[in-house]
Amino acid sequence: MMEGYTHENIDHGVVKAFGEEWTQFDQQTASFTDLQNMFDQFFRVFPWNTLPPQAIGFDLGCGSGRWARFVSQRVTRLHCIDPSEAALSVAMQNLSDLSNCVFHLASVDHIPLADNSNDFGYALGVLHHIPDTAAGIRSCVRKLKAGAPLLLYLYYAFDNRPLWFRMIWRASNVVRTGISRCPFLLRYTLSQIIAALVYWPLARASFLLERLGFNVEALPLSWYRRRNFYTMRTDALDRFGTRLEKRFTAEQILQMMKEAGLERITFNDSMPYWCVIGFKKLCAE
């Protein structure tokens, strides 16, 4: 299939790149402590106590299934959806011991679930990689029951960061734009060099400064200060190997979620930004 934008809400080049990423980093040797810690941070605002006893929901853009493993232990059924056949194969292998996971090869505009049928849903690090993020949110909301929560993680536009931080990102984005258009082997190699020469030193510097009593939350890549190098390598490929990347302010995300029919919207007040929960309106206005 031809790469690039189509009339569908999908970029096939991005889908191919993520299939390559999750095949390379299938998370089977990832640190369980790292994964558990990241899961706790992503789901900090998720209302587990409001789910019904036999909850059924979906993981949109499940990738390797690393979050689905934790979620599936708390619910009756979890629909794992991804447009990449390669990624979905990795997820199926990683979750083969779980009988309550159902796998679907589908994009966000063709979610194979009935409207108004799910008790919850989430899309973490996914909808900023599609042509129309707002339409993607609306597609997810349609599949939820009234009152059901939707958890999103969308790349932030550094709207809570100072100018110097945003300037560093702009420089890195020039590098990302170039690397992301290279063949996979070169993308992979360059991203691993960045992981070793940028992610690791900055993360460890933040770790040491924190041990000395400094507040390091504002430092670039400080989120990785307690992360395993495998996680840094994975995320370096994710960040620099993906050609379509959108970023949003909290206000823009709030507006998209409201327009999609979500209410009681709450943002996580700590990293990762922006992680946000909203609930489908109980009735149409």
Q: Which domain holds residue 149?
A: 12-157+247-280
DSSP-assigned states of every residue in the chain: ---SB-SSS-BHHHHHHHHHHHHH--STTS-HHHHHHHHHHHTTT--GGGS-TT-EEEEET-TTSTTHHHHHTTSSEEEEEES-HHHHHHHHHHTTT-TTEEEEE--GGG--S-TT-BSEEEEES-GGGSS-HHHHHHHHHHTBPTT-EEEEE--B-STTS-HHHHHHHHHHHHHHHHHTTS-HHHHHHHHHHHIIIIIHHHHHHHHHHHHTT---TTSTTGGGTT--HHHHHHHHHHHHS-S----B-HHHHHHHHHHTTEEEEEE-SSSSTTEEEEEE-SS--
Domain match, 235 and 108 both: no
* Structural domain total, the chain: 2
Domain match, 52 and 72 both: yes
**pLDDT tens, 16-36?**
999 999 999 999 999 999 999
Q: Is residue 285 a part of any domain in this protein?
A: no
pLDDT, position 7? 52
**pLDDT tens, 72-102?**
999 999 999 999 999 999 999 999 999 999 9
Please state the rounded mean pLDDT for residues 198-225.
Answer: 96
